[in-house]
Amino acid sequence: MDNINWSELAFGYVKTDYNVRCYYRNGKWGKVEISSSEYVPIHIAATAIHYGQESFEGMKAFKGKDGRVRLFRWEDNAKRMQDSAEGIMMAEPPVELFKEMINKVIKMNMRFVPPYGTGASLYIRPLLIGTGPQVGVRPADEYLLMIFVTPVGPYFKEGFSPVSMLITREFDRAAPLGTGKYKVGGNYAASLTSIKKAHDGGYANVLYLDAKEKKYIDECGPANFFGIKNNTYITPKSDSILPSITNKSLITLAEDMGLKTERRPVVLEELETFDEVGACGTAAVISPINRIKDDESGKVYTYGKDPGEISTKLFNKLIAIQNGDEEDKFGWVDFVE
Ligand code: PLP
Ligand code: COI
């Protein structure tokens, strides 16, 4: 801890002092417990480890110039975790419990909140798992909500520099009527083979097509996709992608800057027409994309080697609000104190 080089931090796990935990038993949530252990004792037949009853969230806290710690849109993450819980039949954590737990875990790990100006932030990872035993395939009757934090740098090592993406039809991450719209572990397990294929080919990640027709753009590894042309911010509408809170925020910022915005199906061929494209998410923030290769047709789509003008403006605006450098006129920021 004493020698964290904040500006060189990667997106990874750093041990902190405490995490928080709360059990759902006998139909109700219990008391919030504070733990300094990195381990979780779990029943050998818990549904999380057999049948994937697991959902997680990701959000960030930022230290401002004024030293205050800002939390970005936590309530949206709380609601999305409730949706994920409902989607795979887990107990839904109340928003108030979620809030109490995030505030507690941040306060107990204040020394790990990266200083202002380092580009790093405190990543907050809530995790909901089925802990009750089942051998037949059915939901658990006991759940555990845990939250740990870890200081992080950029998800893609390039930071705010363009990355390349691979389109492959060899693997899907989510089925058309499956769980792609929930933040559940199974989707990420299903993405590992395609991500390895992308990494082996020198690409930062995978640009997924819709699983049914392979005709439309879905999303970009652990981030949503957007394209910009004709002063318009365009992002895919699909039932099998995660409703990204960053993307939703960028739509608001784009409109505020006078851009038009469209959320609609985006056909693969439209890639040729964009001036700028990028991936967006909590971890990725905005990662501009400079090259997309379709491994079946061999077609390569290229964009500017530097981040585009509109992507840069959106990026700067978003991080200025998150860091408290600009007025929070949309009410996205809460203070931890
Ligand atoms: N899509 C997937 C599959 C993700 O894992 C994430 C990360 O949370 C996102 C998109 C971006 O969502 P958000 O902006 O809410 O972090
Ligand atoms: C996030 O952006 O918060 C994510 O959860 C991405 C993650 C899968 C690494």
pLDDT value of residue 1: 57
Is the pLDDT at 234 greater than 60? The verdict is yes
What is the percent of the chain where pLDDT is above 70? 99
pLDDT of 203-217, one tens digit each?
A: 999 999 999 999 999
Identify whether 64 is part of a domain.
yes
CA Rg, the chain, in Å?
20
Identify whether 336 is part of a domain.
no
Statement to judge: residues 214 and 254 lie in one domain: yes
Of 155, 156, 188, 318, best ligand 2 pocket probe by most atoms within 8 Å of the beta carbon: 155
Looking at ligand 2, which atom is closest to the CA of residue 284? 2
Q: Which domain holds residue 289?
A: 163-323
Statement to judge: residues 168 and 134 lie in one domain: no
pLDDT value of residue 15: 97
CA of 271 to the centre of ligand 2 (A): 24
Contact between 205 and 279 (Cβ < 8 Å) = yes
Residue where a domain terminates, one of 96, 126, 152: 152
pLDDT value of residue 154: 82
Identify whether 337 is part of a domain.
no
pLDDT of 285-307, one tens digit each?
A: 999 999 999 999 999 999 999 99
Of 122, 280, 282, best ligand 2 pocket probe by most atoms within 8 Å of the beta carbon: 282
Statement to judge: residues 146 and 196 lie in one domain: no
Least confident of 2-6, 149-153, 244-248, 279-283: 2-6
Nearest to 68 by CA among 328, 250, 247, 249: 328
Q: Ligand 1: does its nearest atom lie under 6 Å from the Cβ of 224?
A: yes
Statement to judge: residues 168 and 311 lie in one domain: yes
Residue by residue, DSSP assigns 215-233 as: -BEEEETTBEEEEEETTEE
Looking at ligand 2, which atom is closest to the CA of residue 11? 9
CA of 219 to the centre of ligand 1 (A): 9
Statement to judge: residues 197 and 147 lie in one domain: no
Confidence of residue 175 (pLDDT cuts 50, 70, 90): very high
Identify whether 127 is part of a domain.
yes
pLDDT value of residue 2: 60
Looking at ligand 1, which atom is closest to the CA of residue 187? 3
Between the CA of residue 194 and those of 173, 197, 218, 221, 294, what are the distances in Å? 8, 5, 14, 9, 13
Statement to judge: residues 110 and 174 lie in one domain: no
Identify whether 193 is part of a domain.
yes
Mean pLDDT, the chain, rounded, equals 96
Identify whether 138 is part of a domain.
yes
CA of 183 to the centre of ligand 2 (A): 9
Q: What token pair was written down for 175?
A: 């089925």
Statement to judge: residues 110 and 140 lie in one domain: yes
Statement to judge: residues 168 and 298 lie in one domain: yes
Q: Ligand 2: does its nearest atom lie under 6 Å from the Cβ of 281?
A: yes
CA of 240 to the centre of ligand 1 (A): 12
Statement to judge: residues 172 and 67 lie in one domain: no
> How far is 256 from 188, CA to CA, in rounded Å?
33
Looking at ligand 1, which atom is closest to the CA of residue 282? 16
Q: Comparing 169 with 337, which gets the higher pLDDT?
A: 169
CATH of residue 298's domain is 3.20.10.10
Identify whether 53 is part of a domain.
yes
Statement to judge: residues 144 and 167 lie in one domain: no
Is the pLDDT at 160 greater than 80? The verdict is yes
Statement to judge: residues 114 and 189 lie in one domain: no
pLDDT value of residue 266: 98
Q: How many domains does the chain have?
A: 2
pTM above 0.95, yes or no: yes
Residue where a domain terminates, one of 87, 121, 152: 152
CATH of residue 145's domain is 3.30.470.10
Statement to judge: residues 81 and 178 lie in one domain: no
Residue where a domain terminates, one of 152, 179, 196: 152
How many Cα atoms within 13 Å fall on the side-chain side of residue 267? 3
Is the pLDDT at 97 greater than 90? The verdict is yes
Confidence of residue 3 (pLDDT cuts 50, 70, 90): confident
Catalytic residues: 183
3-state secondary structure of 158: coil
Identify whether 69 is part of a domain.
yes
